[in-house]
Amino acid sequence: MLIEVKDLVKDYRVGILKNRCVRAVDCVSFSLQVGETLGLVGESGCGKSTLARLILMLIKPTFGRVCFEGQDLTDLSQAELLKLRREMQIVFQQPQQSLHPRMKLAESLAEPLRLYKLVKSKAAEKERVRHLLHEVGLSEEHLERYPHELSGGQAQRVALARVLALKPKFIVADEPTSMLDVAVQAQILSLIKKLQQEHKIGMLFISHDLEVIRGISDRVAVMQGGKLVEMGSKEQIFREPQHPYTKFLTGTVFELPTRLKRDNLRLVH
Ligand SMILES: Nc1ncnc2c1ncn2[C@@H]1O[C@H](COP(=O)(O)OP(=O)(O)OP(=O)(O)O)[C@@H](O)[C@H]1O
């Protein structure tokens, strides 16, 4: 098992006096196999990003545990977590977030290699950067460019190359294509899928978009109000949704509950 999440809870303290509590993630449990893609879908504010950040231990859970290859991450010190972080990466919605605005791409790609001492010489570093560029479908002419000189799709390719440089075993893709044009979106999705399959990376893929989830996932988890209300193979979820919320999401129920009509839900059906 690559990832095991058990009874995960996250309460945020809110209000001026921090005396009110929002339960963003409510008793979530699931597991993920090596090389598997779990699609996580749900309305805005249901807790998807919080769950992703908890799994990566970017924030501490209130209760529950997260195991990576059998090791409980909630017990680890910051230094121990830092070592594991190379193997657990995130791809953000806005690739610019992970690229330094004043670093040329050559430096941006070399940085993770140096940080984790993954190459032994300058020549090996150059070779690895070139290989990474080709893997994500960019050419060497891009190496001298700054992030603002790239299109959204190119910037997401660079962000993917930086993640790949670290040879991760697990990645969270948090709406990685939602800011891109539809045509570019399809190219980046198939690139993510190809890289994930070639490198046998386990992936939690977060999206509002059911068509995207259908295309990329092996299994699908549906989240509502901080809870996982349904989980199953892609075929089960899309053909025979069980939970009323999932039935609504997959379009088998056309009568929208009033509360859902109000929510900022981006549906493709
Ligand atoms: N740092 C925080 N402090 C207080 N409340 C927070 C914080 N981060 C998130 N929340 C609340 O927790 C709930 C879940 O938020 P989260 O960002 O995880 O949802 P989401 O499903 O990822 O939404 P979206 O799809 O819009 O990004 C929301 O009610 C949000 O307002």
- In this prediction the ipTM stands at 0.96
Q: Which of 81, 65, 61 is nearest to 5 (CA)?
A: 65
For ligand 1, atom 4, name the residue with the nearest CA: 12
12 forms bridges with which residues in the sheet? 22
How many angstroms does the Cα of residue 265 sit away from the middle of ligand 1? 14
How many angstroms does the Cα of residue 143 sit away from the middle of ligand 1? 36
Residues with Cβ within 8 Å of 6's Cβ and at least 6 positions away in sequence, in order, are 29, 64, 65, 66, 67
Q: In what helix (H) or strand (E) does residue 214 lie, and over which residues does it extend?
A: helix 210-216
Tens digit of pLDDT per residue, the chain (269 long)? 999 999 999 999 988 888 889 999 999 999 999 999 999 999 899 999 999 999 999 999 999 999 999 999 998 998 899 889 899 999 988 887 778 999 999 999 999 999 999 999 999 999 999 999 999 999 999 999 999 999 999 999 999 999 999 999 999 999 999 888 888 999 999 999 999 999 999 999 999 888 899 999 999 999 999 999 999 999 999 999 999 889 888 888 765 555 555 454 444 33
Q: Which of 241, 175, 178, 180 is nearest to 206 (CA)?
A: 175
Residues with Cβ within 8 Å of 14's Cβ and at least 6 positions away in sequence, in order, are 20, 21, 22
Q: Which of 203, 149, 212 is nearest to 180 (CA)?
A: 212
Task: Specify the pLDDT at position 269.
Answer: 34
For the domain made up of 3-252, give the CATH fold: Rossmann fold (3.40.50)
How many angstroms does the Cα of residue 61 sit away from the middle of ligand 1? 14
Burial class of residue 70, CB neighbours in 10 A (0-12, 13-18, 19+): exposed
| CA dist 90 → 8, 11, 263, 265 (Å) | 19, 22, 27, 23
Which residues sit with their C-beta closer than 6 Å to ligand 1?
A: 12, 14, 22, 24, 42, 44-50
Q: Are 32 and 202 in contact (CB under 8 A)?
A: yes
Domain coordinates of the chain in residue numbers? 3-252
